[in-house]
Every structure is written in C-alpha cells, then in structure tokens.
Amino acid sequence: MAHAPSSRRLWFVAHSWLGLPIWGFLFFVCLTGSIATISQEIMWLVDPATRANPPSADARPLGYDEVMARIAEQRPGARLHEMTQPVKPEFALIVEAATPDGETRTFFVNPYDGTIQGEQGWFDFRAFIRALHGWLLTPFDGGYAIGWYAVSALSIPLMGSLVTGIVVHKKFWRLYLRPRLRLSKGRRVFWGDLHRLVAVWSIPFIAIMSTTALWFLIEAILYANAVTVAPVRPPLVIAREAAPNVARSEAPPEPSIDAAIAAIRAKHPDFAPGYIEAPESAYGHVTVYGRGAYPLIFEEAKVNPYSNEVAQSRMVSDRTALELVTESMRPLHVGDFAGLWLKLVYFLFGVLLTGLVFSGMMIWAKRTAGATRALVRDIRVAGPFPEPAE
C-alpha cells in the first residue's frame, strides 16, 4: 500500500539532485588536475622539440653562457629574458629571449649542443590544462580570478568528506590488511566497495590536496584584503655610478650567467639553479631561483652582473616558520619538486581520487534515482501532498 508523500520527502529528493552538480564539478577538477600533473610529460611525448636528446653517449650539457652564444648564432641579436632548467634532464631548456625586431620569443633549446629545436607559444597545452584546472580559464582582473575561488573552495567539502569518512568508518585501517572488492553482488555493492577501498588508500593524498587547496583559497582572500604573509622588500637596484656608460642606442653588455651561478654556489654550495631572470635594465641584477637542501621551496639570489657579487639572497634559513609552511603549499599540491617518479605517484593518486568521486556520484545518483521513482509512484497512487499537521 502506497503512503501519501510528505513535502519533506520532496525537499529531500530535490536536495539530493541539487548535490549532483557539486559532485560533477569536483569530478571535473580532479580529472583536469590529474592531467595537469603530467602535462609537461605529455608534451614531451607528443612534441620532439621539448626533448633533450644528447648527440652522443658521453655528451655533457653546455654552460649557460655557451647556450646563449649558440642561440645568438641562430637568432642574431637575441637577448636573454628568462631561462628555465627543468627538474628532469630529459627535457629541453626553455629560453625566453628578446629579438631585434622587438618581439619576445620562447625557444626549446637542446642543452647539449644549443640547438633551437622549436618555439613555444604563449599558451600551450601545459598552460591550458593548468589554467583550466586552477581557475577555469576565467580572467584575472586586478586580483584572483573568480574561477580560482570556485576551484579552491572545493577544498572545504573535500576535507569535510575526509574527516567524516574517517569518523564513520572507524576501523578503516582493516582495508589495508584485507582489501575487499565484491564483483558478484551487484553494481551497488561493487561501487560501494570500490569507493571505500580507494578512499582508504587515498587518505594521505586527499589530506594533502584538501589542505593545500584550502590554503589557495585563504591566499586569495588575504590578497583581496591587502594582507601579506611574507615581508615585502624594496626593489634592489644598482647605483647609477656603478653601471657602465653606454649610448642610448646600445644595449648593456650581456651578463655572464655562469659567473653569477658560480658566485651563488660559492656562498651556498647546495644551490641548484632552476630559473634565471636576466636584468630588466642596466641597473638590474641577475636573479636566480633554485632548490637547496629543502626541495619544496625555491631559494633566490640576486647577483650584480658587473662585479658578479651576490647582492642579496633569500635562502630557506631566511624564512619564518609560517613562510616555510605557506611556500611549501604549491609544490606539495602539484608534486613537481622531485622528478618523474613523484609526478607519476601524484598522477596515480589523482586518477584514484577522480575514480573515488565518480564512484560517489554513482552511489549518490543511484540512491537519488531510486528515491525519485518511489516518490513519483506514491504521488500517482496516493494523490497530492497532505497538509502538514498543526
């Protein structure tokens, strides 16, 4: 015998359907995030220009100055703006340089012979998938993009799901010892087992993703309210009398990147350069970012291009405890600080998390569809909703 449905039951079904878009959005973010983790590796597979193939088995990488000399031979008059040394040696150098016609070009350069293997567009696949995942391709208009807030806000339900899941399944650790995935008990049992199994094995990864994404949300809110965590230093410039006199029609002399890095390593032997910025003017410094003993944080040093003296540095030891935590968030989120193996681990758990969200969607959708069918059937049999009791 069918019972007359209550209005509360209708609201519950409506609430369940309205929750599905959140699941769908989280699924999209997890999927694009998994792809973004290995986006550089995908480019390496499909574009030979991004690869650093040695011409011989005993070949050694060229010095940075020699690389720039080889680029100048192929692109006369090109001047260095930025150079990126990938974490993995299989990847080509990425060099951004200004050409005499006033344009800025980005080259993939073989580090072994200085050959320009190709040019990179300003918005390639890697940039696209990361922007799609991180801020939904929405524009940054004087602050963080609205998509940034939308994506990072997912950290709240993700962290909430982690905490409530651990509380509900107090003996979750048993699945580490006796994993269970029943294939012959129907779809509902299968999706439930898969959901719990993936969730348990993904607990550390979910904790990292939700914590770091929550920081991204807090960071955007702090920025919008003009609050900074790190101290803001005044710009460092070379005194006018210390810079060489050159005619306006002439460019200042090219700095020696090798000498700048040698000066930094003389003071900080563990410094490993990863990103280099050339001076923007005759009064600017060579700025080198790299990793030291603590790989999660980029250290920074500024070198006078004329005297090759380290004018300023900011190492791990110069950070406060709060800065160490906050500056570790991005590397922890993307996993790009320890080579290919860590990228693959992140990708694997990203796929597992995507599957976890998908299995949750299936469980949610099946229950909601069943509740909806039951509600429609009862309405047809028992008629309209009864008035609530006074």
| Separation of CA 329 from chain center | 10
Structure-token pair, residue 36:
């973004």
First to last CA, the chain: 25
The confidence score (pLDDT) of residue 25 equals 92
The confidence score (pLDDT) of residue 19 equals 61
Residue of 267, 367, 247 lying closest to 311 (CA atoms): 267
* CA distance readout (Å), 140 to 128, 154, 253: 15, 19, 36
* Amino acid occupying residue 310: V
DSSP character for 142?
A: S
Q: Which residue has the tokens 């299995």?
A: 359
Per-residue confidence in pLDDT tens, the chain, 390 aa: 455 555 665 665 665 565 677 888 999 999 999 999 999 999 999 999 999 988 787 888 999 999 999 999 999 989 999 999 887 888 999 999 988 888 888 999 999 999 999 988 778 899 999 999 999 999 998 889 999 999 999 999 889 888 887 887 777 888 788 888 888 888 778 877 887 888 888 899 999 999 999 999 999 999 999 888 877 788 899 988 888 876 665 666 789 999 999 999 999 988 989 999 999 888 999 999 998 888 899 999 999 999 999 999 999 999 999 999 999 999 999 998 888 899 999 999 999 999 888 877 777 777 777 777 776 776 676 655 555 554
Which residues are CB-neighbours of 156 under 8 A, at least 6 positions away? 214, 217
Angle, CA 145 vertex, CA 139 and CA 147 arms, to 5°:
100
Measured in degrees and rounded to the nearest 5, phi and psi for residue 180 equal -135, 130
The whole-model pTM stands at 0.83
CA distance 22 to 14: 14
Q: Greatest CA span in the chain, whole angstroms?
A: 97
